[in-house]
Amino acid sequence: MTEYIENNNVIEIKLLSKSFGKKEILKNISLSLKKGETLSVLGKSGVGKTVLIKCIAGLIQADSGTINVLGKNIITLKSKELLAIRQKVGFLFQGGALYDSMSVRENLLFPANRNLNLTNKLKIQEQIEETLENVGLIDAIDKMPSELSGGMKKRIALARTLILKPEIILFDEPTMGLDPITSKEISNLILKTQKTYNTSSIIITHDINCVQLTSNRINILKDGIIYANGTYNELKNSKDEWIKSFLK
């Protein structure tokens, strides 16, 4: 905990390994995320990017290493402590993962009711409306997820994450499957929410425009290790052809 306050790292991963059967996906990975920073993780499909952020969220149990999130090693945390940490770590899933049996309002109400210490129902409703306004979808408040487009689903999923006012947000392919205009809108929205809510983020993506717009730093995963680390410009000017090909 003290270390976290001193070095200002909200996430600090050391020697993280994860295998599925005989296949080693992550090999002794170490990375860190500073407060207020946005880190993009790039890499080929199936290289383990999603596994990495699911390990950070505690959705996948790592085989070895440490994952310090806000000063606590989530690998050794008990379920109650993990629950408390999770309230501070938002996760935006690839497909949005909206609860399809609930309306947009209920999707936001569900985590709000359980995690926010707001006894006043009116106050919760106000907060839901404010969050939806921030993502520009207040008009969709009573719609069902099946009535929303892909971009709208991502925005609502972001609103559902933001309602708990997380300190960290993990984005799993936030622009995947969207047209270039909607992708840009989502990237701008990520940037806007980072400023409004003062969050630190890890973004898993293949979208270089999104990386350019939102990220302070980039890590490239290859064969289970962090192959390259640096800013967009540093990596773009790299002599390594493979790295360059990624940022085209």
Chain residues 163-222 in contact with other proteins, contact rule CB under 8 A: 164
Per CB under 8 A, the list member of 46, 59, 123, 192 interacting with other proteins is: 59
User: CA torsion sign, 158 to 183 to 222 to 44?
Assistant: positive
Choice between 80 and 239, CB closer to other proteins? 80
| Residue 6 Cβ vs other proteins, minimum distance, rounded to whole Å | 28
Among 147, 139, 142, smallest CA distance to 109 is for 142
Cα distance between residue 229 and residue 75, in whole Å: 25
Choice between 87 and 125, CB closer to other proteins? 87
- Is residue 20 at the binding interface for other proteins, with CB under 8 A as the rule? no
| Residue 222 Cβ vs other proteins, minimum distance, rounded to whole Å | 26
Per CB under 8 A, the list member of 15, 64, 99, 139 interacting with other proteins is: 99
Scanning 68-76, 130-138, 156-164, 187-195 for contacts with other proteins by CB under 8 A, the matching segment is 156-164
Element (H, E) at 208: helix 208-214
| Residue 195 Cβ vs other proteins, minimum distance, rounded to whole Å | 23
195 burial via Cβ count (<10 Å: 0-12, 13-18, 19+): exposed
- Is residue 87 at the binding interface for other proteins, with CB under 8 A as the rule? yes
- Is residue 114 at the binding interface for other proteins, with CB under 8 A as the rule? yes
Cα distance between residue 196 and residue 120, in whole Å: 24
Element (H, E) at 124: helix 121-134
Cα distance between residue 74 and residue 58, in whole Å: 7
Cα distance between residue 221 and residue 83, in whole Å: 29
Residues that bind other proteins (CB under 8 A): 54, 57, 59, 79, 83, 86-87, 89-91, 93-95, 97-100, 110-111, 114-115, 157, 160-161, 164
